[in-house]
Amino acid sequence: MRGIVKVVEKATGFFNNLLSMKQVDPECKVHPLPSTLPATLFSDTLMPMDHIVTVERLSKSYGAVKAVDDISFGIAEGSCFGLLGPNGAGKTTTIEIMEGITAPSGGRVLFRGQPLGADFKGKVGIQFQTTALPEFITVKETLELFSAFYNRPRPMEEVIRLCSLEDILTRDNQKLSGGQRQRMLLALAIIPKPELVFLDEPTTGLDPQARRNFWELIGRIKAERTTVLLTTHYMDEAQILCDRVAIMDKGKILEIDTPDALLAKHFEGVLIHLPYDGCCADSLAGFEGLVMSENSIELQTNTLDTSLKQLLAAHVNLEGLSIHKPNLEDLFIKLTGSSLRV
Amino acid sequence: MIIRQFKAMFKARTMEFVRDRGTFFWNLLFPLFLVFGIAFAFSGGEEKLYKIGTIGSANSELSILAMDQMQVILYGDAATALQKLERHQVDMVIDFEAGQYAINHQSNKGRLLRDLFVAQQAATVRIPGDAPAPAFAERTVSGLAARYIDWLVPGVIGMNMMFSSLFGVGYVLVRYRKNGVLKRFKATPVKALNFVSAQAASRLIIVLLTSVFVFVGSNFFLRFMMRGNYLTLLLLTTLGILCMIALGLVFAARLRSEELAGGLLNLITFPMLALSGVFFSLEGSPPILQTIAGLFPLTHFIAAARQVMLDGAGLLTIAPHLAYLAGFTAVCMLLSAALFKWE
**pLDDT the model gives residue A21:** 39
Q: How confident is the model at residue B240 (pLDDT cuts 50, 70, 90)?
A: very high
Residues B213 and B127 in one domain: no
- Residue range(s) defining the domain that contains residue B293: 2-41+147-339
Say yes or no: B207 and B169 in one domain: yes
Read off the CATH number of the domain in which B107 is found.
Answer: 3.40.190
Residues B13 and B126 in one domain: no
A268-325 has the same fold as A27-263: no
Q: Are residues B34 and B56 in the same domain?
A: no
CA pair distance B44, B41, nearest whole angstrom: 7
- Identify whether residues B202 and B293 lie together within a single domain: yes
Contact B11 A145 (CB under 8 A): yes
Candidates B82, B86, B145, B136; CA nearest to B114 is B136
Q: What is the pLDDT of residue A41?
A: 41
How much is the pLDDT for B59? Answer: 61
B60 and B37 part of one domain:
no
CATH 3.30.70 describes domain A268-325: yes
Asked whether residue B60 falls in the same domain as residue B116, the answer is yes
Least CA distance to A131: which residue of chain B?
A: B180
Fold of A27-263: Rossmann fold (3.40.50)
Give A8's pLDDT tier (boundaries 50, 70, 90): very low
Of B5, B19, B180, the CB nearest to A136: B19
Identify whether residues B232 and B310 lie together within a single domain. yes
Instruction: Please check whether residues B153 and B136 belong to one and the same domain.
Output: no
Q: Are residues B230 and B201 in the same domain?
A: yes
Cross-chain Cβ contact A19/B187 below 8 Å: no
Which residues have C-beta within 8 Å of that of residue B24, sequence separation ≥ 6?
A: B17, B18
Closest partner CB to B181 (pick from A20, A134, A136): A134
Q: How many Cβ contacts (< 8 angstroms) between chains A and B?
A: 85
Q: Residue B42 has what pLDDT? A: 61
Ramachandran bin of A113, using left for φ above 0, alpha for ψ from -120 to 50, beta for the remaining angles:
left
Q: How confident is the model at residue A333 (pLDDT cuts 50, 70, 90)?
A: confident
Those residues whose C-beta lies under 8 Å from the C-beta of residue A193, and which sit 6 or more positions away, are A152, A153, A154
Q: Is A193 exposed, middle or buried (0-12, 13-18, 19+ CB in 10 A)?
A: middle
| Model-level ipTM above the cut of 0.85 | no
**Measured distance CA(A268)–CA(A270) in Å, rounded:** 7
End of a domain among B96, B125, B141?
Answer: B141
Give me the mean pLDDT over the A206-224 stretch: 88
Per-residue pLDDT band at A160 (split at 50, 70, 90): very high
- Over residues A1-23, mean pLDDT: 46
Sorted by where each begins, the domain ranges of chain A are 27-263, 268-325
Question: B318-333 burial, b if ≥16 CB within 10 A, otherwise e?
Answer: beebbebbeebbeebb
End-to-end CA gap in chain A:
63
Residue B179: the pLDDT is: 86
The band of A244, judged by pLDDT with boundaries at 50, 70 and 90, is: very high
Name residue A18's amino acid: L
Q: Is B3 on the interface with A (CB under 8 A)?
A: no
What pLDDT is attached to residue B2?
83
Q: What band does B126 get if pLDDT is binned at 50, 70 and 90?
A: low
Cα–Cα separations (whole angstroms), residue B105 to A47, A91, A198, B48, B223: 93, 83, 79, 19, 20
Q: Is the pLDDT of residue B95 over 80?
A: yes
Confidence (pLDDT) at A166: 92
B179 touches chain A (CB under 8 A): yes
Measured CA distances, A39 to A36, A76, A262, B77, B255 (Å): 9, 20, 22, 95, 46
A151 at B interface, C-beta within 8 A: yes
Same domain, B127 and B170: no
Q: Is B148 helix (H, G, I), strand (E, B) or coil?
A: helix
Task: Count structural domains, chain B.
Answer: 2
Mean pLDDT computed over every residue of chain B: 84
The candidate with the shortest Cα–Cα distance to B4, out of A87, A34, A153, is A153
| pLDDT tens digits, one per residue of B24-49 | 777 777 777 777 776 666 665 445 57
**Above pLDDT 70, what percent of chain A?**
82
Interface test with B, best of A149, A150, A181, A196 (most B CBs within 10 A): A149
Answer yes or no: do A136 and B189 touch at CB < 8 A: no
Q: Does A181 touch chain B (CB under 8 A)?
A: no
For A107-171, give the DSSP string. Answer: EEEEETTEE--TTHHHHEEEE-SS----TT-BHHHHHHHHHTTSSSPPPHHHHHHHTT-GGGTTS
pLDDT at residue A339 is higher than 60: no
Residues B221, B330, single domain; the answer is yes
